[in-house]
Structure 1
Amino acid sequence: MTVCAIETAAEDGAVGSTGFTMTADGTYAARLAGDGEALFPERWTLDGPEPYAVPLPLDQPEERDADVLPLTDGRVLIRRRVEGRHAFSLLYPTGPGTGELPLGAIESARLTLLPPSPDGVSAYALAPGEGSTAIWLVAGGAFGPEHVAEVPGHCSGGVWLDRTGRMLALDRQLDGGPVKAVAVDLERGGEVTPLLQITEESDDRLLLAEPDSGLLLIRSNAPGHDRLGWGVLSSLRPVRFPECLRLADCAVTPFAVQPGQMLTPESCAVALRIDGAAGSRLGVWRPAGRRLHQLAAPEGWLAGAGLWSREGVLHLPYATGAVRCGVARMEAPEDVCVPDVITRRDMITEPAQAEHAGGEPSVGAGAPLVCRPMPLQQAPLTGRAAPD
């Protein structure tokens, strides 16, 4: 399964969590629940016949800026800001109460938790400094928080590229230049290799990656302004920017990709959050179908959270006054797939569904300049895991 936390675009264009986070295998989720200032961590169990929530309150309520992250052993990591430091603890139910295991603290002006590691037992955080960004292992180590890598430049985002928790993609900016996604090998001391470069001047960020198929969801301003695009890991074909994902007066953010499509990345269903003046809607799109289906989300949907099954069923968590913890299931709409041809002729004959390659002018302009992504096979990803 591919899962994702609730996400929003930050000022720098990076994607960050806003409260509800799911483990990489979809077994657990966690959020801050409660009303007003009476906030407490809450763990959702999602791998049984029916989902259920377990409150994890302590003696005093949590601050609104606390972060929670679930682990696959049922414990919940919490990050709190305490006297200028970031303190970490593991919470777990103990009969009628809540147990807490302090892990230690990190001194840093800024620190953000990365999405749950695919191994299910580790948790990492980014701490940007003046000229570099530290990567910390904050849970799963032997002696509390451990500094595992120092990456030159200012890093944000965070997308796992494999199913072991070794390869991490970050959006990096060096000396005020453009933002480029890079791959970081955590087993080789944070060795950095290029991952995306659509043009030399463009900001190229990675939003999601599906390890089985290699499908990548990208946000870049290579077409002249920020657009959603897609590509395939280890492919030399250009990043594509579908017109159907460009909605007026709406922010479109992908949050989950269908796993298991190892040989056909274009057939992967992608779930998107569509935010406009009327609120949040649900979108479903496939690269091969080239059509964005806009659907009504279930009442109480925790907007931007969800996971796909390999069979193409979208699981959407929700909470209402009547249902404290629920998961709605929705099958992906069928598409009439269009052959994946990127010639100039096809762009002109299919203007409603045209896809522009990175750096290519819009239809009707002069001869196209197709700028390919950095050859992704140069990143240290020697293969993709077989489906579980």
Structure 2
Amino acid sequence: MTACVIEDVEDAAPGGAVRRAGFAIAADGSYAARLTLGANEASHEEDGAGAAWFPERWTLDGPEPYAVPLPLDQPEEPDTEVLPLADGRVLIHRRVADRQAFSLLYPTGPVTGELPLGAVECAELSLLPPSPDGTRAYALAPGEHGATVWLVAGGAFGPEPVATVRGRCTGGVWLDGTGRLLALDRELDGVVKAVAVDLERGGEVSPLLQIAEGSNDRLLLADADSGLLLIRSDAPGHDRLGWGVLGSARPVRFPQCLRPADRTVTPFAVQPGQTLMPENCAVALRIDGPAGTWVGTWRPSGRRLHQQAAPEGWLAGTGLWSRDGVLQLPYATGTMPCGVARLEAPRDVPQDVPQDLPPDVRTELTTEPPQPEAADGNGSAPRATRLVRKPVPLQQAPLTGRTAAG
């Protein structure tokens, strides 16, 4: 399974406005879907006024990617959400007054077929990332006293609630390969902690991240094969990107190389297939800085952040890894409306050994010294009071010299 999330991609629209188009990739990497702005065939205007939003499905598991438009009689609203299923159908979520309506779209020759699934009576609701099983789809709806997880596709009788979680919940990351365990970032009493929700046990909630008592600990990505977790927490005193291993006795670590100056680093995909080897997983990151947006790759064992230019038209913050470590980045330009660029993760070599890079590829490295990493992630100047001396469960990962009981 490839850990992929729904991303909001910002594109510059005419007049300087910002348009947001969600791009979602199925958990098995077979299909993707997005809402795109294209020409309205019913209009003959050439100034862009006749453009309309419509769903588009991408096929990614063939020799070459290709897109299939899925327009209906009426254009979609810009806040419409889409999500691909493993069988090629596309779930569409529309807001209709105070109702959230769901349908499945599929190509049927020259037209688009639509299968209505039902609606949920609530003011707010958003789709969760594609389920690992590829057949079901879930959504998260906030409420007065908690959040409700809805099964909106794949059930027997239309949308149905499957879990209610106390507090304000955001995020959404799958922890297993079956779609049973869902991690949510829950806010209670002003503090955010990631929790695990068991959808097959009536929404049973258990703690997942508890790095420090008052810290805000959010889960960004998880890989079911290796157990690698990508975390954002302010436990070190400010927001930092860190990593841990699900179910292990290792502490959370906050590598200094994932904190480059004047840049924001956000992970969006983890290499699958690295069973029991989380340190070897390649992680893809979106890097935003004064010069624009580009791609980063990193492995926990390598202690290096490799930075490379993104392809033109990259749907920033989206992509997936193959099992052999090739990063696939979807992009769309005027001449190539559906493309996938492939990028092999650079090798992690000792710092005193020069890398043999092609002359047309410029790679920037942010490195760390290979010394024991402090619990606050600053793996440089060692400070005895900051080093983790005994591994403890992830749920109790310390930032100072606390040790596990016993």
**Counterparts of residues 67-106 of structure 1 (less than 5 Å):** 67-106=81-120
1:31 aligns with 2:34: yes
- Contact between 1:357 and 1:371, CA under 8 Å: does it hold in 2? no
SS class of match (1:4): coil
Superposed displacement of residue 6, structure 1: 5.1
1:80-136: per-residue Cα shift (whole Å, max 9, x none)?
Answer: 110121111111111100011111111222211100000101000011112111000
SS class of match (1:61): coil
Q: For residue 181 of structure 2, what is the aligned residue in structure 1? A: 167
1:216 aligns with 2:234: no
- Contact between 1:3 and 1:26, CA under 8 Å: does it hold in 2? no
Pair 1:308–1:118, CA change in 2 (3 A): same
1:305 aligns with 2:318: yes
SS class of match (2:293): strand
1:284 aligns with 2:297: yes
Superposed displacement of residue 336, structure 1: 2.8
- Using structure 1 for the length normalisation, give the TM-score: 0.87
SS class of match (1:367): helix
Partner AA of 1:312 in structure 2: G
- Contact between 1:3 and 1:306, CA under 8 Å: does it hold in 2? no
Which shifted more, 368-377 or 264-273?
A: 368-377
SS class of match (1:163): coil
Which shifted more, 243-252 or 135-144?
A: 243-252
Q: For residue 7 of structure 2, what is the aligned residue in structure 1? A: 7
Superposed displacement of residue 5, structure 1: 3.6
1:205 aligns with 2:218: yes
- Contact between 2:374 and 2:382, CA under 8 Å: does it hold in 1? no
Q: For residue 384 of structure 1, what is the aligned residue in structure 2? A: none
Q: For residue 13 of structure 1, what is the aligned residue in structure 2? A: none
Instruction: Work out the CA distance in 2 between the residues paired with 1:361 and 1:48.
Output: 43
CA RMSD in angstroms comes to 2.5
- Contact between 1:358 and 1:372, CA under 8 Å: does it hold in 2? no
Q: Which runs of 5+ in 2 are unaligned?
A: 10-19, 39-47, 352-367, 397-406
Q: Quick check: which has more Rg, 1 or 2?
A: 2
- Contact between 2:30 and 2:60, CA under 8 Å: does it hold in 1? yes
Instruction: Work out the CA distance in 2 between the residues paired with 1:201 and 1:337.
Output: 38
1:286-330: per-residue Cα shift (whole Å, max 9, x none)?
Answer: 011000000011111111111111100111111111111111111
1:315 aligns with 2:323: no
SS class of match (1:357): coil
Instruction: Work out the CA distance in 2 between the residues paired with 1:366 and 1:121.
Output: 51
Q: For residue 365 of structure 2, what is the aligned residue in structure 1? A: none
Pair 1:247–1:372, CA change in 2 (3 A): farther
1:218-251: per-residue Cα shift (whole Å, max 9, x none)?
Answer: 0000000000000111112210001111022221
Instruction: Work out the CA distance in 2 between the residues paired with 1:359 and 1:312.
Output: 26
Q: For residue 361 of structure 2, what is the aligned residue in structure 1? A: none
SS class of match (2:141): strand
Q: For residue 375 of structure 1, what is the aligned residue in structure 2? A: 393
Superposed displacement of residue 182, structure 1: 0.8
Aligned residue pairs, count: 359
- Contact between 1:74 and 1:92, CA under 8 Å: does it hold in 2? yes
Q: For residue 58 of structure 2, what is the aligned residue in structure 1? A: 44
- Contact between 1:298 and 1:328, CA under 8 Å: does it hold in 2? yes
Superposed displacement of residue 355, structure 1: 4.1
Q: For residue 271 of structure 2, what is the aligned residue in structure 1? A: 258
Instruction: Work out the CA distance in 2 between the residues paired with 1:104 and 1:88.
Output: 6
Which of the numbers 294, 302, 312 marks the counterpart of 2:307?
294
1:187 aligns with 2:205: no
Partner AA of 1:219 in structure 2: R
- Contact between 1:6 and 1:302, CA under 8 Å: does it hold in 2? no
Superposed displacement of residue 375, structure 1: 3.0
Q: Which runs of 5+ in 1 are unaligned?
A: 10-16, 339-349, 379-388
- Using structure 2 for the length normalisation, give the TM-score: 0.83
- Contact between 1:235 and 1:377, CA under 8 Å: does it hold in 2? no
SS class of match (1:20): strand
Which shifted more, 189-198 or 352-361?
A: 352-361
Instruction: Work out the CA distance in 2 between the residues paired with 1:97 and 1:300.
Output: 28
The one of the two structures with greater contact order (alpha-carbon pairs below 8 A, sep at least 6) is 1
Partner AA of 1:194 in structure 2: P
Which of the numbers 77, 94, 111 marks the counterpart of 2:125?
111
Pair 1:337–1:100, CA change in 2 (3 A): farther
Pair 1:185–1:277, CA change in 2 (3 A): same
Instruction: Work out the CA distance in 2 between the residues paired with 1:8 and 1:32.
Output: 10
Partner AA of 1:4 in structure 2: C
Instruction: Work out the CA distance in 2 between the residues paired with 1:194 and 1:34.
Output: 41
Q: For residue 225 of structure 1, what is the aligned residue in structure 2? A: 238
1:236-288: per-residue Cα shift (whole Å, max 9, x none)?
Answer: 22100011110222211000001111132101100000012222100000011
SS class of match (1:223): coil
Pair 1:304–1:371, CA change in 2 (3 A): farther
Instruction: Work out the CA distance in 1 between the residues paired with 2:329 and 2:303.
Output: 23
Pair 1:48–1:360, CA change in 2 (3 A): closer
Instruction: Work out the CA distance in 1 between the residues paired with 2:300 and 2:382.
Output: 23
Q: For residue 356 of structure 2, what is the aligned residue in structure 1? A: none
